[in-house]
């Protein structure tokens, strides 16, 4: 029961610096349940950390080669001819 209350207190009192550190850690490892709950609870109340989480997710995707598709980096499985047609259409309309 003592562990429950300490984890609940952590969820309710997590500060931005600790939340940002945990979000950064989540790029390298799976957070524990109590850490995920603490970050989730903090994100419900903090818009700045919500924006930071999106930035971390973008950085993580870029580091793992899962960046958003662009004209120079077409999505996997797209035939080269289709990518060329899309690039040509973009050039004509931009």
Q: pTM (2 decimals)?
A: 0.57
List pLDDT tens digits, range 50-80. Answer: 999 988 888 877 776 665 556 566 566 678 7
> What is the overall mean pLDDT for the chain?
79
Instruction: For residues 2 and 23, give the distance between their C-alpha atoms in angstroms, rounded to a whole number.
Output: 26
Tell me the mean pLDDT in the region 30-59: 89
List, as one string, the DSSP characters of 13-69.
H--HHHHHHHHHHTTTSPPPHHHHHHHHHHHHH-HHHHHHHHHHHHHHHHHTT-PPP
36 or 58, higher pLDDT: 36
């Amino acid at each position: 029961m003592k562990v429950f209350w300490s984890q609940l207190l952590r969820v309710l009192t997590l500060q931005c610096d600790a939340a940002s550190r945990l979000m950064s850690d989540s790029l390298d490892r799976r957070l524990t349940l109590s850490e995920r709950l603490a970050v989730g609870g903090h994100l419900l109340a903090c818009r700045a950390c919500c924006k930071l989480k999106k930035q971390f997710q973008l950085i993580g995707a870029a580091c793992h080669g899962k960046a958003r598709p662009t004209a120079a980096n077409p999505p996997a499985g797209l035939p080269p001819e289709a990518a060329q047609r899309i690039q040509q259409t973009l050039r004509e309309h931009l």
